[in-house]
A = this chain, B = another copy of it.
Amino acid sequence: MIGAGRVGKNHSRAIVHNIAAARIVAIVDNVDPVRDETAAEFGIERQFNSLEGALEKAEFDAVVITTPTPTHLPLTAMAAEHQKHVFLEKPMALNLQECDAILDVVKKEGVLLQLGFMRRFDPEFVAAASRIEAGEIGQPMMIKSNTHGPGLPPPWARDLRTSNGMLAEVNSHDWDSTRWLMGSNYERVYAEVANFKGAAHGVDTENFYDNALVNLKFESGGLGLISGVCPCGYGYDARVEIVGEKGIMQIGSLQGQAVVVCTDRDRGLITPIYRTWPERFEWGYINELQHFVSCVQNGTTPRVGGIEGRWAVAGVLAGTRSFLEERPVYLKEILTGGPRAN
């Protein structure tokens, strides 16, 4: 387990409590108190402050990388060169060159690579994808996908100089899900962004935005929308709506636990909302790691890998250029080297 922060804790919890087939041998993080806390909470025996240390002294088959985006390429490369399979969190990288370098190294070293698009393993998304595939709503014409998250991202994740901002750090899943569920690549992207809460949060980073609406045109002719709000305060909100030639499908709901209470008719019914992403996608996180463990054990290819990660990065880059230049941006402007298949 590389990275002991929020995502590292979340994956540790899944593995330690709910995945009988795997074990966390060691945890790597260079921030001592964070690493100590996560190790203690999940009973992880060995700790290292660098991947080098772990590679030298511990034995394991695979790594789970949950550190900030700029570290993804060097960590993946180092793990791959030591024949460790890699589970890599989204976004895959900062740009397509890094994505290509990651794809190249895992191919060369023959290790498996899975991207952390857990929505592909959420039981509701899985059922929906399979029903769309079976033709239940006909050819998809329009998709809307939103991720609104409760808290302000950390400084590195909201600055276009150190990350690709909210479109990447929050909406990566939407880029992947819309492409997956539409069964088509994006062709053209138009993005509008807004900054409503930056000042109140003391954020004066150039080009900071906390609201985004992205219009997508797919190669199939279909239309799409990605919506991002962060921080939204009211909960963790990830839903998809698809209209096909035959009908509509809604995936997910604002409602969390089915416990409804009313104690005051002037206030109304109260239902829990999903508060956080670990709560909303609890099974998605367990299932994606089960899948990775199973792939490692059986030597099979994970069903979501680097190509999917690269497409999401390409979409983010198109969306970012769109709002900076106030015009629709074609993917072919971004994918100058063309798409790649593996």
Query: Is A101 engaged at the interface, CB distance under 8 Å to the other chain?
Result: no
A215 in contact with B217 (CB, 8 Å): no
* A268-B271 contact in complex given A142-B211, A243-B148, C-beta closer than 8 Å: yes
B237 in contact with A248 (CB, 8 Å): yes
* A263-B136 contact in complex given A16-B20, A223-B211, C-beta closer than 8 Å: yes
Interface centre among A19, A136, A139, A248 (most CB of B within 10 A): A248
Q: How many copies of this chain does one complex carry?
A: 4
B263 in contact with A124 (CB, 8 Å): no
In the complex formed, the residue of B with least CB distance to A271 is: B269
Residues of A within 8 A of B (CB): 15-21, 23, 123-124, 127-128, 131, 136-139, 141-142, 144, 148, 150, 188, 190, 192-197, 211-213, 215-217, 221-225, 227, 229, 232-237, 243, 245-273, 275, 286, 290, 326-328
- Listed from nearest, the 7 A-B pairs whose CB atoms lie closest are A247-B263, A235-B265, A253-B258, A234-B247, A250-B260, A234-B262, A269-B271
In the assembled complex, 19 residue pairs joining A and B whose CB atoms fall closer than 8 Å, in A order, are A17-B20, A17-B290, A18-B18, A137-B263, A138-B263, A142-B211, A192-B215, A213-B215, A232-B247, A232-B248, A233-B247, A233-B265, A234-B248, A237-B248, A247-B262, A247-B263, A253-B258, A255-B258, A269-B272
Query: Of B136, B194, B248, B254, which is within 8 A of A141 by CB?
Result: B194
